[in-house]
Structure 1
């Protein structure tokens, strides 16, 4: 038995040895040569280790003639050698010894000077040239550096700059000296356009350009590469709108001293093409009739590339929501003599797939669940492809991850192994954490509340449960962060109005679709009739029901103090003086289909609410508001939209409502042409507020400038504030105003209105001018 075991062991050892030898024989094919050694020669200043680190040929690695040529070029690019040669020698065992014979440059750079550089710092120029003291002096590299400096000056608008290599052009030099003549900064004095139709203004074309005009010597650098890009942009602009044969060429008119230039863009529009046939190819899941119902492109309409691209996205989304990944390419076949384009949507359909594993990369601070709930895709479900794009947008909208258009950094959602036969596709989410804390100082002034300041501390990625467990948590910035919540402290001291608030928002309470908002606040306000301050807290829960509808419930508790009551105040005000306690329970439902929150052009907003208040006084409050927007006209390229808006709002309150909870009219966003709280039922010349208010506004907004930053508005406001649910004094005002968007005030425009009462009540207080201006940083 023992003999048999020994025989078995010997057999296993022998078999293993045979397999090992066979593996070595397979690994080293008969025709392959390996490198015995790599030996640099001739180097005195450059260490051997540095040379070896730059080449791909390695000791005991495979020998490759192609690799040797690549290594030779890599060493020459170092700029440390005037010549590099490669030779080989076969060793006794048949392997190859490789020699790199290098000829070092004779001198090192002892000094670098940029003579004549006045508008660029030496450190900036050093980054351009990449020259450093103590490195080998390479005449060819120095000449190239001079060219790079000159190119940089031209890119900065100094077209006539010249750079001469005063020293450093000979191998025996030890200094590199650049003689720089900067020349004048060439300014663009004007940009003009010739040959385009009257349907587009010079100002609108100028708004497309990257090149800007100089104003009082400020800005307007002339950069030739930028003009080349402007030519491409203008050409695309005309071709997108149907002028498929459009051509653009620039002409330069120089000033006498060549320090200024006028650029004339000569435009050949050609004819505007119309759509001939609209065709579909490759579609199997949906027939042509169904696809034609989806797209907006129609035969006979003016060609518009934007419409075609939007239609391609609609088709992609229709397939994608049903789980089909498709490729849609719009092919265009034009007939120049007829000015007609046949548009064919070529569709490559794919089979539905399911979500595999989901991996999140880069969320070093933010919890996985915050990303997953915005992704909305879970393992095993049918992969709805449009949700990939929607998820990327939702992650961006969180404003807690890096978004940089210049570097291309943004949240991305990638589907892996698209070409694999597996039904399940893994999803990888890439995000990069960014700074989410904000400290903001601001100022606002308006005709209703006077001048006020603003100090805000805000954290957009707050986590109330991540308490610091160590000093490192505090220093690293991870404490109280990463939960996707928002925490805000705000102070608004002012001349007539002051407010101080602390708020907390959880957008997904317990990872559900329900949001939670908690507020604590104190504010004080002075009126003609009395002064008022409030301290309170508020809790709100809300839910987005679908794309447009939402609902919310709110509970508030407030302590109100009415003081400094006017000696002429009627009982309505006197009886509500002093301190009181309010407990309010409010429910609201709303619908919002606006295309923009800041400047809507289409859609509508509706909100209805009811609140029952208990405490010192018991009363109900209710409101209904509706606003509709219409885009009545726009330029051919979609800009310059004229907007008509109509707003109606009705408010009611119970009989026992205190004076500080009643309704008042007048002022900005109310009845313009009257002062703030200048409309209402008056007693002894003092406004006591109403239990019923009805407001109606009709406004028309027209952009004046080609960049859509300045608007003129005309309006008619009407309405009333009554003591009871009736209408006795219906006011009407008309007026005009301006809206100006500036970088200083951010996206919210400066608003200035002039209102003129046409019909008013007996005691109403008139105020023609109303305005709002806000600044923040």
Structure 2
């Protein structure tokens, strides 16, 4: 940007602008109207240098000019003429692709969002180039290069946007083998590296492309595996590559030198002033005479760092320096520390959030101005922002200020699309054939018309249609209601399900408010080993307003069952507490979940009666051996009427089926009428013990025993009288969706109507 003028001192500051002349330094035609429309300076107004400077900035922001220069000419009568000289950006005449064979031009054109007949937008060109590279990577051509050329059209201000593509020949990975390995099996090493041929690549012919860039990652993964077992001399000598004659397949052989394990002979500290060696040494779990373990060393390093970080040492530098003795196979570890000084947060700056509002990001940060600069809390803040799933990347860095004891936090995000349209289908033993359509916006903002994005709310519209069920729901979630850590959930629903002898329809509205449950007062009274039990709790309160219709009963149902027919108003309030420490929601391998809740359906709310219900459920996951998981789960519930009221059949309990007690038919575990139709009971108790073992990647097998019963009255509940089954399960996680198969055999039944033959349960679903 340049700003040139001819004036002395403040002589022109009171001058009147006589006229503004617009010219081009390339000879290309320029729309004078466009230039003047973006300037506040105008003929007849008083000349203001600052206003002219703002005009230049505004012209740049139009994106139509590469350069903008101004000059001033003083005229008689205290007047001035402003000449604006611009260099227009080339206008894209045509978008051209060169060198593409793997991808058709039409496919590439759909990726490019830069418009024709518009000035060149460098930022959009970069995005389009990356979109083309990504599509080639998705197709297995990882080394394909894409060069962008702005090709001027002679004697015009037009240019062609040329994407020059140099494609790399693709090859599929045929096999991976290892040479020189003694400590670990080939199977273990294959599981460790990134380059591998998955079984679904073979069966479904999906992916499996060879990527040269992954070999460095493979070497690092193998080195981590060996150094975690003390093998400091481990080395990948070479990676042999064999390509078939047609250059379609490649086989890799990793040639390894393992060496021997090292023992730790000393652990020392240097540079530590704030804490003595006696204070730091208990944080290090590696001990002299232990076999060296790089993973334990990293954990020790983080414990040392954390001791400093909570006190604001953002400039802390701490790293282990190893001194190996290759003859004795021992290693000395020196933790070198450069402490710096404690600092506090001065201010927080956020950039890159074009859609997401600032306050949505700020409320997830664990630090505010004035807090000690705790690097642990910076990592927590980064994790929270990543978990929002609004951003492709999140970077938080501490930047020095004029005061050594103060730091600014710079939060840089790169946003991604948060709207999703899903169509899916599935088949199961419980719901038969089922299809769904779902529209979700996870960064919704009901106040931001017309885009309705950026407020950190969630909106979901879902429709399910099947042979047994038909559901429509619209839900809204505000995670920070009233600008507090209160999660507000609203839902409207219309559900229909065909049961064995009748059809049930639920239509209504629901509202729920939950918040973290602060048990810090209890934590301080617990032993250190029990203190985690006071963390990760939530409280919730809810209201449901619904109408339940039971209709289309079979002609031959019993009188007891026929009495259930009709329309019910079932408005209820609920309260609950929950705790979830699972390491992941899908296929967890450690942690636990617990839910305890109570619900009151009251005639004071316009309901069909006064009904109270209490439910408790919990699951615990234990890692066993290397990859195996032991799951223990239990659920209990009781319901009853108050003042002589009786719970309707939809408020009673049933057990059995794929999600309850496997080996029994859905809802079969229940008191029955004279026709052996399930009526439900007022008390339920179920439990599961399941051992889950990975077989291959994305395939797990399990052995389980389920048990449970449903009693007519709460007083009849007897944990010694349970229906029980044993069985085998198989779960296959495919790219197109999960497949779950279970077979259970009843080995104990407490009800005469229950079948003693085995039962197969399956669930196959996909989203596309």
TM-score, normalisation: structure 2: 0.71
Deviation at residue 331 of structure 1 after TM alignment: 1.5
- Segments of 5+ residues of structure 2 without an aligned counterpart are 1-7, 10-25, 29-95, 109-135, 144-165, 519-534
Q: 1:583 to 1:272 in 2, by over 3 A?
A: same
Tell me the residue number matched to 2:608.
Answer: 616
Q: 1:235 to 1:432 in 2, by over 3 A?
A: closer
Partners in 1 of 2:544 and 2:747 — Cα distance? 40
Q: Does the Cα contact within 8 Å between 1:545 and 1:551 map onto a contact in 2?
A: yes
Say whether 1:369 aligns with 2:359: yes
The within-5 A match list for 1:167-316 is 188-197=173-182, 199-202=184-187, 204-205=189-190, 208-210=193-195, 212=197, 215=202, 227=215, 230-231=218-219, 233-248=221-236, 249-252=238-241, 261-316=250-305
Tell me the residue number matched to 2:334.
Answer: 344
Deviation at residue 417 of structure 1 after TM alignment: 1.3
Question: Which piece of structure 1 moves more, 557-566 or 181-190?
Answer: 181-190
- Segments of 5+ residues of structure 1 without an aligned counterpart are 1-15, 18-46, 50-111, 126-151, 160-180, 404-409, 469-473, 635-640
Deviations 1:703-758 (A, max 9, x none): 112x3x1111000111111112223852110001111111111xxx4221110000
Tell me the residue number matched to 1:557.
Answer: 545
Tell me the residue number matched to 1:647.
Answer: 633
Say whether 1:762 aligns with 2:755: no
Of the candidates 474, 481, 485, which is equivalent to residue 502 of structure 1?
Answer: 474
Partners in 2 of 1:645 and 1:666 — Cα distance? 19
Tell me the residue number matched to 1:739.
Answer: 731
Partners in 2 of 1:484 and 1:632 — Cα distance? 39
Tell me the residue number matched to 1:633.
Answer: 625
Partners in 1 of 2:736 and 2:459 — Cα distance? 25
Deviation at residue 158 of structure 1 after TM alignment: 13
Q: Does the Cα contact within 8 Å between 1:205 and 1:234 map onto a contact in 2?
A: no
- 1:687 is paired with a residue of what secondary structure? coil
Partners in 2 of 1:211 and 1:562 — Cα distance? 54
Say whether 1:486 aligns with 2:458: yes
- 2:184 is paired with a residue of what secondary structure? coil
Deviation at residue 658 of structure 1 after TM alignment: 0.8
Partners in 1 of 2:98 and 2:410 — Cα distance? 49
Deviation at residue 619 of structure 1 after TM alignment: 0.9
Say whether 1:590 aligns with 2:578: yes
Deviations 1:117-153 (A, max 9, x none): 965879999xxxxxxxxxxxxxxxxxxxxxxxxxx99
Tell me the residue number matched to 1:128.
Answer: none
Q: 1:290 to 1:497 in 2, by over 3 A?
A: farther
Deviation at residue 571 of structure 1 after TM alignment: 4.5
TM-score, normalisation: structure 1: 0.70
Q: 1:570 to 1:237 in 2, by over 3 A?
A: same
Q: 1:447 to 1:224 in 2, by over 3 A?
A: closer
Deviations 1:212-248 (A, max 9, x none): 5985998666666655664455345433442211122
Partners in 2 of 1:435 and 1:628 — Cα distance? 35
Say whether 1:457 aligns with 2:447: no
Q: 1:543 to 1:183 in 2, by over 3 A?
A: closer
Tell me the residue number matched to 2:678.
Answer: 687
- 2:415 is paired with a residue of what secondary structure? coil
Q: 1:286 to 1:668 in 2, by over 3 A?
A: farther
Q: Does the Cα contact within 8 Å between 2:189 and 2:222 map onto a contact in 1?
A: no
Q: 1:772 to 1:293 in 2, by over 3 A?
A: farther
Tell me the residue number matched to 2:421.
Answer: 439
Q: 1:186 to 1:485 in 2, by over 3 A?
A: closer
Partners in 2 of 1:185 and 1:586 — Cα distance? 58
Tell me the residue number matched to 2:767.
Answer: 776
Say whether 1:660 aligns with 2:645: no
The within-5 A match list for 1:18-57 is none
Partners in 2 of 1:648 and 1:427 — Cα distance? 46
Deviations 1:580-632 (A, max 9, x none): 10111111011222222112222211111111111112111111112111111
Tell me the residue number matched to 2:372.
Answer: 382
Deviations 1:641-671 (A, max 9, x none): 1111111111101042111111101111210
Partners in 2 of 1:264 and 1:677 — Cα distance? 55
- 2:417 is paired with a residue of what secondary structure? coil
Q: Does the Cα contact within 8 Å between 1:193 and 1:202 map onto a contact in 2?
A: no
Q: Does the Cα contact within 8 Å between 1:158 and 1:184 map onto a contact in 2?
A: no
Q: 1:321 to 1:251 in 2, by over 3 A?
A: same
Q: Does the Cα contact within 8 Å between 1:672 and 1:768 map onto a contact in 2?
A: yes
Partners in 2 of 1:609 and 1:714 — Cα distance? 30
Question: Which piece of structure 1 moves more, 355-364 or 655-664?
Answer: 355-364
Deviation at residue 574 of structure 1 after TM alignment: 2.4
Partners in 2 of 1:309 and 1:513 — Cα distance? 34
Q: 1:120 to 1:666 in 2, by over 3 A?
A: closer
Say whether 1:711 aligns with 2:696: no
Deviations 1:176-209 (A, max 9, x none): xxxxx99996655432212212533336426514
Tell me the residue number matched to 1:534.
Answer: 506
Partners in 2 of 1:499 and 1:735 — Cα distance? 32
Tell me the residue number matched to 1:448.
Answer: 430
Question: Which piece of structure 1 moves more, 604-613 or 434-443?
Answer: 434-443
Q: How many corresponding residue pairs?
A: 594
Deviations 1:558-582 (A, max 9, x none): 1000012233434443222100101
Question: Which piece of structure 1 moves more, 582-591 or 430-439?
Answer: 430-439
Deviations 1:96-134 (A, max 9, x none): xxxxxxxxxxxxxxxx9999x965879999xxxxxxxxx
Say whether 1:524 aligns with 2:514: no
Partners in 2 of 1:627 and 1:226 — Cα distance? 38
Q: Does the Cα contact within 8 Å between 2:140 and 2:207 map onto a contact in 1?
A: no
Deviation at residue 762 of structure 1 after TM alignment: 0.9
Tell me the residue number matched to 2:318.
Answer: 328
The within-5 A match list for 1:556-575 is 556-575=544-563
Q: 1:658 to 1:391 in 2, by over 3 A?
A: same
Deviations 1:401-448 (A, max 9, x none): 3x1xxxxxx122222216x54432222222233322211111232211
Partners in 2 of 1:377 and 1:224 — Cα distance? 41
Partners in 1 of 2:611 and 2:638 — Cα distance? 11
Say whether 1:417 aligns with 2:372: no
Deviations 1:285-316 (A, max 9, x none): 33434434434434444333222223322322
Partners in 1 of 2:395 and 2:575 — Cα distance? 38
Q: 1:573 to 1:275 in 2, by over 3 A?
A: farther
Q: Does the Cα contact within 8 Å between 1:572 and 1:659 map onto a contact in 2?
A: no
Q: Does the Cα contact within 8 Å between 2:224 and 2:294 map onto a contact in 1?
A: no
Q: Which is greater in Rg? A: 1
Report the aligned-residue RMSD.
Answer: 3.5
Q: 1:385 to 1:616 in 2, by over 3 A?
A: same
Q: 1:744 to 1:275 in 2, by over 3 A?
A: farther
Partners in 2 of 1:586 and 1:182 — Cα distance? 61
Partners in 2 of 1:673 and 1:619 — Cα distance? 31
Partners in 2 of 1:531 and 1:551 — Cα distance? 34
Partners in 2 of 1:158 and 1:605 — Cα distance? 42
Q: Does the Cα contact within 8 Å between 1:367 and 1:483 map onto a contact in 2?
A: yes
Partners in 1 of 2:141 and 2:440 — Cα distance? 41
Q: 1:121 to 1:352 in 2, by over 3 A?
A: same
Of the candidates 419, 427, 434, which is equivalent to residue 409 of structure 2?
Answer: 427
Tell me the residue number matched to 1:513.
Answer: 485
Partners in 1 of 2:682 and 2:343 — Cα distance? 60
Question: Which piece of structure 1 moves more, 292-301 or 755-764?
Answer: 292-301
